[in-house]
Amino acid sequence: MMKKWGYFLSIIMFIMIGSTAFTQKDSENQNEWSEWKQTKCLKGIDYRVKMGKYEMSRRARKWELQFKNRYDATIHFNYKAISTAQIKNFSRARTSRNRIHLDGNSGETQVFSTFLKANKDIVVDIVKIRFGKKDIGKNYYKCDKKK
């Protein structure tokens, strides 16, 4: 009987030590924003990301995003985000539900969050773009032409 309890307690301690090691590693990455990167679609919109904690219930990691508008005009858009490992499937990435509105030459925006199955880095781009004060209609701006 005592031998069984000894095995049980050693397994519990092993699990606790292992989970503590992984938790400390994740918390190091939490507070650092990436460098600003230009979106592929529009050269005047920049973004940066910050990796958050892994959530077991969602089986995904929380990522935080910020956008910056370097155009003079107000812009409205949605974004798509995906793991760099899944970049080939970018067209199938889920589009954000809420519209983002950035005034012209704005500084950093509020922080937006998304959950992705990505542990290292993500790629973000914008879709359903409109310039101007009003975000109405069915027509969207096409991406900047690549040279």
Could you tell me what percent of the chain has a pLDDT over 70?
Answer: 83
Same domain, 23 and 77: no
Please tell me the distance from the alpha carbon of residue 10 to that of residue 56, in angstroms, as a whole number: 24
Same domain, 42 and 22: no
Instruction: Name the burial class of residue 34, with classes exposed (0-12), middle (13-18) and buried (19+) by CB atoms within 10 angstroms of its CB.
Output: middle
Give per-residue pLDDT as tens, 103-128.
988 877 788 999 998 888 888 999 99
Same domain, 37 and 108: yes
Same domain, 8 and 56: no
- The secondary element (H helix, E strand) that includes residue 63 is strand 60-69
User: At 88, which CATH number?
Assistant: 2.60.40
Residue 23: which domain range? Answer: 1-30
- Per-residue model confidence (pLDDT) at position 146: 67
Same domain, 15 and 72: no
Q: Which region holds residue 39: left if phi is over 0, alpha if psi is between -120 and 50, else beta?
A: beta
Q: How many domains does the chain have?
A: 2
Same domain, 133 and 118: yes
Is the pTM of the predicted complex or chain greater than 0.75?
A: no
The alpha carbon of residue 36 and the mean position of all alpha carbons in its chain are separated, in whole angstroms, by: 13
Please tell me the distance from the alpha carbon of residue 110 to that of residue 65, in angstroms, as a whole number: 8
Residue with tokens 């973004």: 47
- Token output for 64: 């935080």
Please tell me the distance from the alpha carbon of residue 42 to that of residue 144, in angstroms, as a whole number: 6
Same domain, 43 and 12: no
